[in-house]
């Protein structure tokens, strides 16, 4: 029974990890497009993505509780049972429980990292939009249930930032960041080379002064519109 509970907690931790990375990585433009096609889950996912503080706090609460419960079951109940098995196998009772606890911690940590963190996050990154829509509804209701605790955490965090005089204002996206995203999109095939060239020309035009694209009046060669072909 204890093993089943630990496995369930590890998988639940994976769900939280996947939803976190999926909603952070999901393209808002793709979600907006799905909303225009009538997707209610995309609407919820976009709502969560637009309020990352609340959503990430909810995720952190869930992961923390799972970690505590996993530690309780693996560090006490399961280690005791495994220690008894080692004792029956001939391991001295003085070392059996310590050895059992050490092995259980190593095994649970390994399984948590693989199935509770790395694999779910890789899935969340590779299929971010799909995963975000799949997990949006349960994560939304969980955020509603945890909203009182999230409010307390948000206020506490803001208070600490104010005491430390840390500015939490979001940084604006720079021109270099936009170019980097366009270059990455071109490499992945999402952005065509002609589109990349257009964007580069737009930024290049904005950096040029007016005299580089105009001809001085003294350099203009003109003719009278009333002149005939011979003239």
Q: Rounded to the nearest 5 degrees, what angle is found at the Cα of 81, between the Cα atoms of 75 and 111? A: 50
| CA nearest to 100, candidates 132, 76, 118, 133 | 76
Tokens, residue 148: 């009182």
pLDDT greater than 80 at residue 108: yes
Model confidence at 169, pLDDT cuts 50, 70, 90, reads low
pLDDT at 113: 92
pLDDT greater than 60 at residue 81: yes
pTM above 0.85, yes or no: no
Instruction: Compute the average pLDDT of residues 30-49.
Output: 86
Share of the chain above pLDDT 70, in %: 90
Pairwise CA distance, residues 14 & 12, whole Å:
5
């Amino acid at each position: 029974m204890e093993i089943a509970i630990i496995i369930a907690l590890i998988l639940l931790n994976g769900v939280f990890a996947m939803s976190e990375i999926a909603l952070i990585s999901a393209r808002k433009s793709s979600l907006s497009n799905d909303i225009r096609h009538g997707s209610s889950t995309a609407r919820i996912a976009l709502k969560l993505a637009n309020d990352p503080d609340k959503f990430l706090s909810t995720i952190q609460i869930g992961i923390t509780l799972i970690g505590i419960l996993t530690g309780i079951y693996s560090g006490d109940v399961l280690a005791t049972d495994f220690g008894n098995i080692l004792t029956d196998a001939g391991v001295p009772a003085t070392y059996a429980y310590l050895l059992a606890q050490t092995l259980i911690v190593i095994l649970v940590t390994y399984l948590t990292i693989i199935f509770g963190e790395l694999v779910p996050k890789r899935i969340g990154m590779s299929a971010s939009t799909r995963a975000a829509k799949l997990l949006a509804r349960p994560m939304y209701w969980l955020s509603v249930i945890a909203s009182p605790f999230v409010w307390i955490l948000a206020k506490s965090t803001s208070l600490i930032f104010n005491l430390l005089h840390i500015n939490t204002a979001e940084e604006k996206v720079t021109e270099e960041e936009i170019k980097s995203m366009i270059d990455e999109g071109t490499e992945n095939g999402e952005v065509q080379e002609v589109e990349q060239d257009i964007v580069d020309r737009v930024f290049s035009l904005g950096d040029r002064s007016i005299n580089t694209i105009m001809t001085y009046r003294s350099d203009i060669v003109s003719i009278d519109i009333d002149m005939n072909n011979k003239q």
